[in-house]
Chain A
Amino acid sequence: MRRETLDEADFVIVGTGAGGATAARVLAAAGHSLVMLEEGARLRTSERPRDAAGALAQAMRDGGTQVAFGSAPMPLLQGRCVGGSTAINSGIIWRMPEDVVEDWTTRFGLGALVAPELTEPIYDRIEQELEITPTGEDVLGGNGHAMARGAQALGLPGQPMRRNAGRCRGSGECLQGCPGERRQSMDVSYVPRALADGARLHTHARVERVLIERGRAVGVRGVRLDPSTGRPRARFEVRARRGVILSAGVIHTPLILLRSRVAGPVGRHFQCHPGSALLGRFDEPIRMSFGATQGYEVPMRERGYKLESLSLPPEMLAARIPGTGAEWQERIASLDHYAQWAAQSRFEAQGRVRLGFGGAPWVRYEPSARDIEQLKEGLVWLARMMFEAGAREVYPGIHHVPEVLRGPDEVRLLEQAQISRADLHLMASHLFGTARAGADPVRSVVGPTLEAHSTRALYVMDASVFPTNLGVNPQHSIMAVVWRAAAQLAAQDSGRVARAG
């Protein structure tokens, strides 16, 4: 294969998701030269396929088929394009909860990274720049409104979600890329902003390892992929004068670190917020085709879960509806009558990411019995809310629980069921850990500035550094933590005091 030196800059940033794009936004604005390397393509929202199969194939890692192995495989969803997972996410915004800040400060020595007096101005700034507002009533859609009804009837603490989509028009297509760029994912906000500030972006550039000379990161090495076939085309190297920043996400950042033989508990402590959803069939139309993809939420964090409305494209909705043959066909002839809500749960389990066959990731993750019980409780609340909101039937989609619950009395069948991991369909899109931050070099990979304990000028700036999961949607916390670290780096490195944050 050909070998080329692609570029050189002060900083090289690997990955353009929540972490990488925020680092680029801060460092480019502070006047540093930088190169962003992204394995995926730069997708123009106007050109992205609107059908579910096309959207998954184009923008998701492995078309959505990446899994964690355990007693039952669990899909791990991640974006693989400019903008990373933010290009396919629903735009939900939460600041890091106070108890997490306290935990990270006391147990992991990360006060200098997450102290509220340092991060609050950053959150404010991001919220202003990314048009963060509560979802408007006019775009909640039938799915969100029905959930609000159910929550209110049961006296649960529901609310319209805050999202980075101030001009959301309710097309319900966040997964396919927001038409009109209303949702401020990184591909339409911080990446173009960094480019306008002089950063350079190379797409289809898959980084494999960090070049380390005398204990210092000096660049990266990887392969250029053919945009049409995805096959390796040439080897490349990019030199970094001041530092290498890894922001390839929770599964791929540790793989790069492992290939580069960086010391520490790399790949360990993988955590996530697995989720499961149930469907309700209503007599009146719900019309999932209109409304914010996700617009309404019931945060029950103290119980370990968060309930969210979640609309789907018709293909995915139909696949979730029980039955085959005439029974299924009857049900899917009225796709405008369904609501879907999900429970995302803060599991205690920890897994591990390793280099597998041919350099591919091998993720091992096994939820505890307590995790499953906790999630089941969330699903029971969802079923109750569905019936309160007027559902005629609820489809839990759980083995050992009837396929169809026909009234509120039948929710007890779900409540009383002995459910094991393999009875549930779990999925996780909020991933954490694998290169955790902390003051102690034995228990963590990077320190409070996000520089690797063992390698100078090597930084990790993405969700990998989170030493615990959060119990809320993570992108805002990722952006704020990275902003803080990147602003410190910009100030320290150039001798200038960056005003960022």
Chain B
Amino acid sequence: MRLLNLERRLLEATLAGFAPEGAATGLSPLPGEIDWGATFHGMADASNGQARLGMRAAIWLAGLAPVWLERRPRTLLSLSAEERVALLERLLSHRSFAVRELTLLLKLQAAFALLGSATARARSGYDRDRPAPVEHPDSRQRLTLVDSSARGGRS
């Protein structure tokens, strides 16, 4: 799915808005570390038509939220990082299910982009002190050969 230039900018600004750079604590992306738009196309290509429509609607919903939610004549692009965070928080707890779900779809994309980066993932602690996988003797050979008599009489 091709995005207009403005849609792409709104999308990237919205996704980056969930996890702004330079936060004092927590998982903060480094400058240029995350390609915020990258997962969108993979997800859109795999999705059905309705979902693609939803993905596009979500971009406009968040991008124009200052207008319809706060009655301010501007897009999300002109908000500060703190204002974006506050706006996204309001959208996520909005009384309309559709608004909440579409914003959650954006948050999902933000999480996929952020944790899809190997370096950010390493800082998330997800793999910290991960125990070594348990090893078993490979008994597959034996098991797939259960009842290996020839075709015809067997089953």
Could you tell me which A residues sit within 8 Å of B by CB distance?
26, 28-31, 51-54, 56-58, 60, 62-67, 72-73, 128-129, 131, 136, 138-139, 166-171, 181-182, 189, 192-193, 197-198, 285, 287-290, 314-319, 323-326, 328-337, 358, 360, 399, 403, 422, 487, 490, 496, 498-500
Interchain residue pairs with CB less than 8 A apart (10): A29-B155, A65-B48, A169-B134, A170-B133, A285-B128, A287-B129, A319-B110, A333-B124, A336-B127, A360-B49
Question: Within the complex, what minimum Cβ distance (angstroms) separates A488 from chain B?
Answer: 12
Interchain CA distance A499-B85 in the complex, whole Å: 65
Q: Are B155 and A490 in contact (CB under 8 A)?
A: yes
Interchain CA distance A10-B90 in the complex, whole Å: 60
B88 at the binding interface (Cβ < 8 Å): yes
Q: Are B125 and A62 in contact (CB under 8 A)?
A: no
Determine the residue in chain B with the shortest Cβ distance to A337: B125
Q: Are A325 and B51 in contact (CB under 8 A)?
A: no
Known: A324-B88, A329-B28. A318 touches B124 (CB 8 A): yes
Enumerate chain A residues within 8 angstroms of B27, measured Cβ to Cβ: 329, 332-333
Query: Which 7 pairs from chain A and chain B are nearest by CB?
Result: A63-B46, A329-B26, A325-B85, A65-B51, A57-B46, A500-B155, A319-B111
How many residue pairs link A and B with beta carbons under 8 A? The number is 195
Enumerate chain A residues within 8 angstroms of B121, measured Cβ to Cβ: 314
Q: Are B48 and A324 in contact (CB under 8 A)?
A: no
- Which residue of the partner chain, among B42, B88, B108, contacts A319 with CB atoms under 8 Å? B108
Enumerate chain A residues within 8 angstroms of B115, measured Cβ to Cβ: 314-315, 318, 332
Interchain CA distance A56-B129 in the complex, whole Å: 27
Q: Are B139 and A166 in contact (CB under 8 A)?
A: yes
Interchain CA distance A399-B103 in the complex, whole Å: 14
B9 at the binding interface (Cβ < 8 Å): no
- Which residue of the partner chain, among B25, B140, B152, contacts A31 with CB atoms under 8 Å? B152
Q: Are A53 and B43 in contact (CB under 8 A)?
A: yes
Question: Within the complex, what minimum Cβ distance (angstroms) separates A63 from chain B?
Answer: 3
Q: Are A332 and B26 in contact (CB under 8 A)?
A: yes
Q: Are B130 and A72 in contact (CB under 8 A)?
A: no
Enumerate chain B residues within 8 angstroms of A169, measured Cβ to Cβ: 133-136
Interchain CA distance A374-B135 in the complex, whole Å: 40
Question: Within the complex, what minimum Cβ distance (angstroms) separates A124 from chain B?
Answer: 12
Determine the residue in chain A with the shortest Cβ distance to B88: A324
Q: Are A325 and B155 in contact (CB under 8 A)?
A: no
Q: Are B47 and A287 in contact (CB under 8 A)?
A: no
Question: Within the complex, what minimum Cβ distance (angstroms) separates B154 from chain A?
Answer: 5
Question: Within the complex, what minimum Cβ distance (angstroms) separates B16 from chain A?
Answer: 11
Interchain CA distance A28-B24 in the complex, whole Å: 63
Per-position contact with A for B43-73: 1 when CB-CB < 8 Å, else 0? 1011111110000000000000000000000
Could you tell me which B residues sit within 8 Å of A by CB distance?
17-20, 23-28, 39, 42-43, 45-51, 81-82, 84-85, 88-89, 92-93, 97, 100-101, 104, 107-108, 110-112, 114-116, 121, 123-131, 133-136, 138-140, 143-144, 146-147, 151-155
- Which residue of the partner chain, among A28, A31, A57, contacts B45 with CB atoms under 8 Å? A57
Interchain CA distance A434-B88 in the complex, whole Å: 40
Known: A63-B47, A170-B134. A325 touches B129 (CB 8 A): no
Determine the residue in chain A with the shortest Cβ distance to B48: A62
Determine the residue in chain B with the shortest Cβ distance to A182: B136
Interchain CA distance A288-B155 in the complex, whole Å: 40
Question: Within the complex, what minimum Cβ distance (angstroms) separates A36 from chain B?
Answer: 16
- Which residue of the partner chain, among A131, A319, A324, A330, contacts B85 with CB atoms under 8 Å? A324
Enumerate chain B residues within 8 angstroms of A136, measured Cβ to Cβ: 134
Enumerate chain B residues within 8 angstroms of A197, measured Cβ to Cβ: 151
Interchain CA distance A62-B88 in the complex, whole Å: 27
Interchain CA distance A315-B97 in the complex, whole Å: 23
Question: Within the complex, what minimum Cβ distance (angstroms) separates B105 from chain A?
Answer: 9
Question: Within the complex, what minimum Cβ distance (angstroms) separates A31 from chain B?
Answer: 4
Known: A53-B42, A62-B51, A498-B155. A287 touches B131 (CB 8 A): yes
Question: Within the complex, what minimum Cβ distance (angstroms) separates A452 from chain B?
Answer: 24
Q: Are A335 and B134 in contact (CB under 8 A)?
A: no
Interchain CA distance A496-B134 in the complex, whole Å: 45
Q: Are B23 and A326 in contact (CB under 8 A)?
A: yes
Q: Are A329 and B19 in contact (CB under 8 A)?
A: yes
- Which residue of the partner chain, among A129, A314, A490, contacts B124 with CB atoms under 8 Å? A314
Enumerate chain A residues within 8 angstroms of B151, measured Cβ to Cβ: 28-31, 197-198
Enumerate chain B residues within 8 angstroms of A54, measured Cβ to Cβ: 42
Question: Within the complex, what minimum Cβ distance (angstroms) separates B85 from chain A?
Answer: 3
Enumerate chain A residues within 8 angstroms of B112, measured Cβ to Cβ: 51-53, 315, 319
Enumerate chain A residues within 8 angstroms of B138, measured Cβ to Cβ: 167
Q: Are A333 and B25 in contact (CB under 8 A)?
A: yes
Interchain CA distance A325-B126 in the complex, whole Å: 19
Q: Are B126 and A314 in contact (CB under 8 A)?
A: yes
Interchain CA distance A189-B17 in the complex, whole Å: 46
Determine the residue in chain B with the shortest Cβ distance to A501: B155
**In the complex, given contacts A26-B155, A314-B127, A360-B48, what are 16 additional A-B residue pairs having Cβ atoms less than 8 angstroms apart?**
A31-B152, A53-B43, A57-B45, A60-B46, A63-B51, A65-B48, A65-B50, A138-B134, A170-B133, A192-B144, A193-B144, A287-B130, A319-B110, A324-B88, A336-B128, A422-B97
- Which residue of the partner chain, among B25, B39, B92, B100, contacts A324 with CB atoms under 8 Å? B92
Question: Within the complex, what minimum Cβ distance (angstroms) separates A421 from chain B?
Answer: 9
Interchain CA distance A197-B144 in the complex, whole Å: 13
Question: Within the complex, what minimum Cβ distance (angstroms) separates A498 from chain B?
Answer: 5
Question: Within the complex, what minimum Cβ distance (angstroms) separates B59 from chain A?
Answer: 16
Interchain CA distance A496-B151 in the complex, whole Å: 13
